Amino acid sequence: MRSTRASNALARLKSRTGNERYSMQIAANGTFCLMEAQDDGQMTALSSALELDEFVRFVNATGPQTPKKISKLDVAFEKQLVKKTSS
């Protein structure tokens, strides 16, 4: 169950980057490591051994970030806030 969050973070990273070579390694002590397969078949560690929360933060920060979706109502609300603070 612990690795579900890590697996989901890894799946998001793969979809953001389009790189299917990423994988994770789980050590016996429960730490996670982000790995990437090279052309020669070797695996390269991209992170040190991290606890679950640290690993998820690291993977989420790796690669291109997806822009947050903002609705028209959010944009209009932000414009109103700017008007009220400048008045």
DSSP 20: T
Tell me the pLDDT of the chain averaged across its residues.
Answer: 86
Q: What is the mean pLDDT of residues 22-33?
A: 91
List Cβ neighbours of 69 (8 Å cut-off, separation of 6 or more): none
pLDDT digits (tens, 9 = 90+) for 43-53: 989 989 999 99
* Predicted confidence (pLDDT) at residue 35 exceeds the cutoff of 90: yes
What angle in degrees, to the nearest 10, is found between the helix axes of 52-61 and 2-17?
A: 10
Give phi and psi for 66, each to the nearest 5.
-85, 135
The pTM assigned to this predicted structure is 0.69
- DSSP of 25-77: EE-TTS-EEEEEE-TTS-EEE-S--B-HHHHHHHHHHSSPPPPPP--HHHHHH
